[in-house]
Structure 1
Amino acid sequence: MARRAVEQELSRERIMDAARHLFITKGYRGISMRSIGQHLGYSHGSLYYHFKEKAELFYAIVVQDFNHLARLCELVTKSPSTEGQTKTEQLMLEFIKFGLEHPHQYEIMFMLRDEEILAYCRSEQAKCFDMFDKIVRGFLKEERHPLESNPSLPLSMFLGIHGFISFYIQDRLTFEEILPAAVAHVKMLSQSSYRLTS
């Protein structure tokens, strides 16, 4: 009975939200299951009902954040084109927007260098890039872009927007504050892609 009450009250989602906050503010090595439990006002034993260890909890957060980004990118494929922008540019802007509106999540997903947790991020990063690559290739085909002459183009675009996010994320600027720079950047990446293949 007591376990059922804890399960209902202390949900998996609530644990993940608290742990994400602690991972961001104190770092992966700086927290333990005990400190997460204390933060939530529960014994750390109640967390083990949902997660066997800290690494499993961290991975669940990483997967959730990558799934959120994937949903946003998929929405671009279903939304109507914006006047003055290609679908590829819209996709890159959506990616930048996610990075700047969710800086802590983006840092966990793409910028942590802790060897202990890097393996958990690498597989999800690879899936994310594969999704980005597939969507970009589809858009470029629709736009009659000569992609065959530069097959690494989606990777170049991905690295271009990642560099942009990495630069601006340090200043904690909002997407709206850097929107003109973001639009100019994706236009430059898009126009450069045509020059590289012509």
Structure 2
Amino acid sequence: MERSRTSEADLRRAILDTARRLLVREGYKGLTMRRIARAIGYSATAIYLHFDNKDALFHALIEEGMERLYAAFREAAARHPDDPVQRLQALCRAYVAFGLDQAEYYEIMFMAHPEHMERYPAEKYRRARRNLDLLAETLADGHARGMLDAPEPRVGASIVWSSLHGAVSLLLAHRVDVRIAPEVFIHAAIAHTIHGFLPVREAPVVSPILPLADGARKRFFEGDGEAA
């Protein structure tokens, strides 16, 4: 019985991993249960035992990605419980790191736009929104302490998100001027985002430029030609 449960768990994992790769490479229209089945060596019937349709697969991948991002956010926030400015910076860095290190999830979560996909379930959306809530709570804490100018923290959280999403999207698409080092671009994007919430009397409070992880640099930036 235990072996059977493990086998089913492994099959579900294989389905999701294969679907994730197909979605990123060929898009929503190119994803079919038959193609997934062929790729993992099972029948399409076996896929349907785990997922009713490809929308259910798509939703499961979004949910997985959101949970991974939330775990990264919680870890980042926990390092600065008493300093909302440093906490905001840590959350920004965690967001960018997630986007670069988990690029397939990121593209599915935020960059894929199927025209005819079923609506994302409300309960899953509420869980996904916890990521935005962590940003809003940090801004609200900073505003209450007089360290951040964020009278509308939910609006501010969406502004932070949109700024970081723009930066990550450009990096993933290789659309950043190749004369700009990726670390410098990321540092500047985060610094300007945070600076927008600092009271006028405050100078920017950001850490030094940090190097990218070797994997992210090798995957996205080494050997690029001129940016479009």
TM-score, structure 2 as length reference: 0.70
Moved more, 146-155 or 43-52: 146-155
- Alpha carbons of structure 1 residues 39 and 77: separation in structure 2 relative to 1, 3 Å: same
SS at match of 2:193: helix
C-alpha distance in structure 2 between counterparts of 1:59 and 1:197, whole Å: 45
Structure 1 unaligned residues grouped into runs of 5+: none
- Alpha carbons of structure 1 residues 143 and 20: separation in structure 2 relative to 1, 3 Å: farther
SS at match of 2:196: helix
Please say if 1:24 is aligned against 2:24: yes
Instruction: Name which of 162, 165, 169 aligns with 1:166.
Output: 169
SS at match of 1:194: coil
Structure 2 unaligned residues grouped into runs of 5+: 203-228
Identity %: 22
Are 1:65 and 1:109, in contact at CA under 8 Å, matched by a contact in 2? yes
CA offset at residue 189 of structure 1? 1.4
Please say if 1:152 is aligned against 2:161: no
- Alpha carbons of structure 1 residues 152 and 106: separation in structure 2 relative to 1, 3 Å: same
Letter aligned with residue 92 of structure 2: M
C-alpha distance in structure 2 between counterparts of 1:150 and 1:137, whole Å: 5
SS at match of 1:148: coil
The answer for the alignment partner of 2:182 in structure 1 is 178
Map 1:116-127; keep pairs closer than 5 Å: 116-117=116-117, 119-120=119-120, 123=125, 126-127=129-130
Q: What is the CA deviation profile of residues 97-126 of structure 1, one whole-angstrom value per residue up to 9, with x for unaligned ones?
A: 111222222111111222223733993664
Are 1:12 and 1:50, in contact at CA under 8 Å, matched by a contact in 2? yes
Letter aligned with residue 185 of structure 1: A
The count of residues paired between Structure 1 and Structure 2 equals 190
C-alpha distance in structure 2 between counterparts of 1:95 and 1:151, whole Å: 17
RMSD over aligned Cα, in angstroms? 3.2
Instruction: Name which of 176, 191, 194 aligns with 1:190.
Output: 194
- Alpha carbons of structure 1 residues 50 and 156: separation in structure 2 relative to 1, 3 Å: same
SS at match of 1:116: coil
